[in-house]
Amino acid sequence: MKIILNPNPNPASDADRAAKVAQGGFGKHYTDNMVLAQWSEASGWSDAELKTYGPLSIDPATSVLHYGQEIFEGLKAYIQPNGGVSLFRPEANAERFRRSAARMALPELPMQDFVRTVEALVNHERAWVPKNFGESLYIRPFMFASEIGLGVRPSNQATYIVITTPASAYFNPGKAVTVWISTEYVRAAPGGTGEAKTGGNYAGSLLAQKQAAAEGCDQVVWLDAMERKWVEEMGGMNLFFVKGAGQGATVFTPKLTGTLLAGVTRSSVLQVAQDLGYKVEEVMISVDDWHRGVNSGEITEIFACGTAAVVTPVGAAKSAQGTWPTGDGNPGPITNQIRQTLLGIQHGTIEDKHGWNKRVS
Ligand SMILES: *Cc1c(COP(=O)(O)O)cnc(C)c1O
């Protein structure tokens, strides 16, 4: 895939860009450019074009608007100590994008084309990468069915786009979230699309998110669809639990059953926790295990992780059975240590032993 550079002739001024970066948030402002490529069954992938960020003109009968055949990714670029910029594990996102495409009957984008288009855009927009620890340039690659027509079948045309937005810390890291354990709604069922990063999984989750908010909670915890017993994920993040304290602690997470989304952060946290000397486990965790564990004090900390927020402490869970605080409800020491270590690796201030950072500028 050739990348044709046709950048925005009127990019934001230094002052305008600085003001937008300083505002932070998540997805509030987008950078000057985007990358776009088209696929058709007849001719495969087009060249990619780096061009001015802006609205798309879409026929009302475009397939994605009706049947939701769409996938996306989320990854970040971090400022490095010498002023350079690195991507965090982009190959892992490229590989997952390929798997999501296969599940959603979209064309597979070769991994090197995913990585090269992301690198090209981030390199071009490097002035938009925030300079503070914990901040980043969030990258959103996505692909959708762009065939025009209402026939229900895999689209014979697809559009791939990459956009970027400066991001401050997504959740306040000092504040633990409260979660609502939903027994009424499910996110994913065996044989469904839970393993794919597709918009429909999110669309189906919003009513439960609304219910969580009505219960005074920040996020939803999803249980398995079959027994409504096994803990799967929290909103769009993977969950972790800590048993015990100090160097003898065990860090464990729900095992991937085919209905969970395999987070890049999840896999990084498993490795970082092990590197820090903790025992790590991927196991089945029931709601009862959760309840009993926090009640007896065996479970000392709970946190969620994902690219957007990195690591977010879970201070309490609420369900139809009652409210169960985690410890004293404040972020725990192992949660903080893992968060700081992962962010340190991403920002190049802690040794990147596993070769996760990919330098782009
Ligand atoms: C994206 C996502 C995650 C987190 O994945 P990361 O690769 O760590 O960002 C977890 N759960 C769901 C449902 C997701 O969509």
Residue 121 is part of a domain; what is its CATH number?
Answer: 3.30.470.10
The kind and range of the H/E element at 325 are strand 322-325
Q: What is the identity of the amino acid at 72?
A: F
CB 77 within 8 A of CB 87: yes
* Per-residue pLDDT at 175: 83
* Per-residue pLDDT at 173: 62
Query: What's the number of domains the chain is made of?
Result: 2
* Per-residue pLDDT at 24: 83
The CB of 84 under 6 Å from ligand 1? The reply is no
Residues of the chain under the 50 pLDDT cut? none
Residue located nearest, by CA, to atom 14 of ligand 1: 236
User: 4 alpha carbon to ligand 1 midpoint, in Å?
Assistant: 31
CB 349 within 8 A of CB 211: no
Measured between alpha carbons, how far is 107 from 279 in angstroms, rounded to an integer? 40
Given 139, 167, 195, the domain boundary residue is 167
**Same-domain status, 234 and 162:** no
**Same-domain status, 207 and 260:** yes
**Same-domain status, 224 and 320:** yes
CB 14 within 8 A of CB 20: no
Entry pTM: 0.97
- Residue 1: helix, strand or coil by DSSP? coil
User: 307 alpha carbon to ligand 1 midpoint, in Å?
Assistant: 7
Whether 161 maps to a domain, the answer reads yes
The CB of 141 under 6 Å from ligand 1? The reply is no
The CB of 264 under 6 Å from ligand 1? The reply is yes
Q: Which candidate, 341, 349, 346, places its Cα nearest to that of 357?
A: 346
**Same-domain status, 203 and 275:** yes
* 197 Cα nearest atom in ligand 1: 15
In order of 163, 306, 347, the CA distances from 128 in angstroms are 12, 22, 16
Whether 359 maps to a domain, the answer reads no
Whether 111 maps to a domain, the answer reads yes
The C-alpha R_g of the chain, in whole angstroms, comes to 21
Given 132, 167, 202, the domain boundary residue is 167
CB 146 within 8 A of CB 38: yes
- Here the CATH number for the domain that contains residue 314 is 3.20.10.10
Domain residue limits at 42: 3-167
CB 202 within 8 A of CB 68: no
**Encoding tokens for residue 251?**
């860090």
CB 39 within 8 A of CB 154: no
User: 335 alpha carbon to ligand 1 midpoint, in Å?
Assistant: 18
- Residue 222: helix, strand or coil by DSSP? strand
